[in-house]
Amino acid sequence: MKKRDLEPNQDGKRRRTWIKLAAGLSILAVAISVVWLGIIYFSHVQLSRQVPITIRQNIDFPVYLPALSDFPPDQQSFNYSNGVLFFQAGSKNAQVTFAEQRKTTDFDLGKFSTAQGLTGMKQLTINNNSVLLGKVHELNIGIIDTGETIVTITSVSNQPSSSIESIVRSLQQV
């Protein structure tokens, strides 16, 4: 007698085991995806709620906020005037000022930085955005061209340029 004849249901058991394993892995993959998407969604919602609704409804360009815990936006500092959004971020010891505005069709990052008096310039590409880092009146500054928005970050408490670069890397559109 062949071994196969003695165990006629063995192939069926193996097949069911593989089907159960594949189903379990599929459910696990879906659960991980749902959790990951939830984290991304709620972090975006949390950031977007930081811009007061009365200001957010008047803005016609994408807004960028830092996602670093050391530089939370100050809710009381948001101001929108003449097409420019201003706000402060940071703590008592580490403050930066943001100025954000819609990019015009004739905007030139090099000319803008020269007009601002930016010295010691370092040009980077961060998250597919053109970035200039430098100094204005001994304060570190970062200028970001996102394609639709010009974001200027100025250190108020003389943060090192590495801090400005870290803030630029953490920016999230809300």
pLDDT at 4 over 60: no
Q: Could you tell me which of 81, 124, 100, 94 has the C-alpha nearest to residue 173?
A: 100
Give the bridge partners for 68, in sequence order.
none
CA–CA distance from 28 to each of 16, 33, 35, 42 (Å)? 18, 9, 11, 21
Tokens at residue 162, please?
């590495």
Alpha carbons 158 and 51: distance in angstroms, whole number: 25
Predicted confidence at residue 20, as pLDDT, reads 76
pLDDT digits (tens, 9 = 90+) for 141-152: 999 999 999 999
Distance CA 68, CA 169 (A): 9
For 87-103, what is each residue's pLDDT tens digit? 999 887 889 999 999 99
pLDDT of residue 51: 84
Band the pLDDT of 45: cuts 50, 70, 90: very low
Q: Give me the mean pLDDT over the 100-108 stretch.
A: 95
Superfamily name and number for 49-173? MucB/RseB, C-terminal domain (3.30.200.100)
Q: What is the pLDDT of residues 114-162, one digit of tens each?
A: 888 889 999 999 989 999 999 998 899 999 999 999 999 999 877 778 8
**Quick one: pLDDT at residue 47?**
45
